[in-house]
Amino acid sequence: MPQNLLEQLRKYTVVVADTGDIEAMEKFRPQDATTNPSLITAAAQMPHYQPIVDGVLKDARKELGEGASDQAVANLAFQRLAIAFGRKILAIVPGRVSTEVDARMSYDTEATIKQAHSIIAQYDAAGIGRERILVKIASTWEGIRAAEVLEKEGIHCNLTLLFGLHQAIAAADAGVTLVSPFVGRILDWYKKDTGKDYHGADDPGVQSVTKVYNYYKKFGYKTLVMGASFRNIGEITELAGSDLLTISPQLLAELEATQGDLPRKLDPQAAQKLDLEKIDVDKAAFDRMHAADRMATDKLKEGIEGFSAALVKLETLLAARLAALESRTPTAV
């Protein structure tokens, strides 16, 4: 009996669910899972997750006391909410979950380290070891430096919002566990900039991840590549063989429903035969390469602003939910 594309993809690549929806994970049973502020915000508004939200809010109120403002309680609660979802997710997936540092700290190394320590401490208090957690950090120079410190402490990091080779090299040089190049967002930028459409191997997002993968395998980096942010299954099939791919439930369902052959496109042995130049990326080189890459500059800024806005929205929703709970007339977030 022929296998569907998802079954074939699992032979080459670790499949990760890109969602905060626990029911979707139960259906597709991925190895790992990753979330971001936008996904957590969306999940927190689903009626069947209201008990999780309410429990987090009540615990935050108890911790801060009756004198704390609703906004202060909501701020603490949003930090705890990602952990609460992470714990639920880890009861389903056998591998790891990525939990994100506040995007508003993306340019603050010390604040990122401090929040990463808090994330790990909360999971530890719940009896979950750090080997099952990836702390998700934006791929700014400051974020990469924070990840370098954390990795030396045995805290594994996922460098997200990665759009350029300079970010990927700096992250690998820092010894991070995993990077998440954003395929679909790169495609979005080029479509808008050029007015063209792209398909298959011509997709600039696919080309970007392929370049990162080949560079890592050519020069023996241990850092893993996890393609992310897909717009269609064509992007996914072109990256079959990537170490990991994090995929939305909608595209997982489409892969599962599609029959056909899925050849391996990325291969470490093939990468080692390529004629590639080793690039040294210090702070000056990083800044220079980033400034020269309009796409990476635009999309990193946009991504940080978008995730920050999602956090502000979530805090506002949580404050409203808290007020409703404490007035004994709860309404949905």
Asked if 186 and 205 touch (Cβ cutoff 8 Å), the reply is yes
Give the SS3 label for residue 182. Answer: strand
Asked if 19 and 8 touch (Cβ cutoff 8 Å), the reply is no
Residue 57 to residues 250, 291, 325, Cα–Cα distance (Å):
30, 42, 9
Asked if 47 and 332 touch (Cβ cutoff 8 Å), the reply is yes
Instruction: State whether the Cα torsion 224-264-3-227 is positive or negative.
Output: positive
Closest CA to 15 of 262, 261, 267, 228: 228
Across the strands, what pairs with 245? 15, 227
Would you call 217 a catalytic residue per the annotation? no
Asked if 244 and 178 touch (Cβ cutoff 8 Å), the reply is yes
- How far is it, in rounded angstroms, from Cα 205 to Cα 163? 8
Q: b or e along 74-99 (b: 16 or more beta carbons within 10 Å of the residue's beta carbon)?
A: bbbbbbbbbbbbbbbbbebbeebbbb
Asked if 225 and 233 touch (Cβ cutoff 8 Å), the reply is no
Asked if 55 and 80 touch (Cβ cutoff 8 Å), the reply is no
Residue among 58, 114, 136, 192 flagged as catalytic: 136
Asked if 179 and 162 touch (Cβ cutoff 8 Å), the reply is yes
Residue 45 to residues 79, 84, 248, 267, Cα–Cα distance (Å):
16, 15, 18, 41
**Element housing 297 (H / E):** helix 294-326
Catalytic positions are: 136
